[in-house]
Amino acid sequence: DAGVTQSPTHLIKTRGQQVTLRCSPKSGHDTVSWYQQALGQGPQFIFQYYEEEERQRGNFPDRFSGHQFPNYSSELNVNALLLGDSALYLCASRSYGQGLHGYTFGSGTRLTVV
Amino acid sequence: ELKVEQNPLFLSMQEGKNYTIYCNYSTTSDRLYWYRQDPGKSLESLFVLLSNGAVKQEGRLMASLDTKARLSTLHITAAVHDLSATYFCATGGSYIPTFGRGTSLIVHP
C-alpha cells in the first residue's frame, strides 16, 4: 500500500522563477495538506485541499497556490521565488473527518532557491 | 494565535539515561500529537493524546497530556542510539496542526 508520494525529491531554482511540486495521497485518502519546513524549524501549515477546493490556509502569501485534482492528487505552486522559500515541502494526506491522527506525511521535496 | 513551545530544543544524552521533553501550548486543544523525524526524512507519527491525563507508551517512549496545564511530556527511558532524531509535538483545532520547533535528540554510546 503506497503511502504519500511526492515529486521531485530535490529541486534547485533561481530567485524569481516559479515552481510546481506534486503530491499523490495515500490510497483511500481524500484530503491533502501542504507544509513548509525551514531548516531547524517545525513544519508550517500552508493550506489544505478537499473536494478540489482550498479549505483552510495558513499565513502564507498569495505567491503560494495549489490545486487538487479529481483523483485527489495535488500540486503546490510557488511564484516569484525568494531565497527564503528554500525549505523542505511536505505533503500530508488523510481521510476527511479524521483528526491529525489520520495524517500520513510524504518524504518531502527539498527546494533550494539560489 | 496558537503557540507551541518545546524544550529543550537540543538534547545530548548518554545511552541508558532517562530524560523528558516538554511541550507547552498556548490555547485549549483537544488533541496533542508527537512525531519523530530522522534527518532528511519525513514525519513519523508516534502518539496521539486525546484527553486530560492520557498516557501512552511505546517501547522506551512514554507521552502524557495535562490539558489543564496545557502541557505534554515525552519521557525517554534508558535511551539507546536508535532514538536519535528530532521530536515534534503538534496541536490545534480544525484538524490543522501547529507544530513546535522540535527537540533534536542525540544519544551517545
- Dump pLDDT digits (tens) for B73-109: 999 999 999 999 999 999 876 667 889 999 999 999 8
The pLDDT tens digits for A22-48 are 999 999 899 999 999 999 899 999 999
- For A41, the closest chain B residue by CA position comes to B101
Which comes out higher in pLDDT, residue A1 or A102? A102
Domain boundaries, chain B: 4-108
A3, with CB counted inside 10 A (0-12, 13-18, 19+), is middle
CA distance B106 to chain A (A): 15
Distance in Å from the first CA to the final CA of chain A: 37
| Binary contact (B43, A43; C-beta < 8 A) | yes
Q: Which residue has the higher pLDDT, B28 or A14?
A: A14
pLDDT tens digits, B29-68:
778 899 999 988 889 989 989 888 889 999 999 999 999 9
Inspect the interface and report whether the beta carbons of A90 and B42 lie closer than 8 Å.
yes
Cell output for A66: 495549489
Q: What's the whole-number mean pLDDT along residues A60-76?
A: 97
- Residue A61: pLDDT above 60? yes
Point out the residue among B31, B41, B100 whose CB comes nearest to the CB of A42. B100
Phi and psi, residue A84, nearest 5°:
-70, -5
The neighbour count for residue A36, using CB atoms within 10 Å, is 21
Return the CA Rg of chain A: 13
Chain B, nearest residue to A38 by Cα? B101
Classified by CATH at the fold level, domain B4-108 comes out as Immunoglobulin-like (2.60.40)
Range of the domain at A97: 5-113
Name the one residue in this structure whose C-alpha cell is 506525511: A105
Count the domains in chain A: 1
Nearest Cα neighbor of B67 from B51, B56, B55 is: B51
| A44–B99 C-beta distance less than 8 A | yes
Q: Which chain A residues have a beta carbon less than 8 Å from that of B88?
A: 42-43
What is the domain-level CATH number for residue A32?
Answer: 2.60.40.10
To the nearest 10°, report the CA torsion of B30, A30, A20, B102.
Answer: 20
Name every residue in A having a CB less than 8 A away from some CB of B: 33, 40-45, 48, 56, 58, 90, 92, 94, 98-101, 103, 105-108
- Residue A60 or B94, more confident: A60
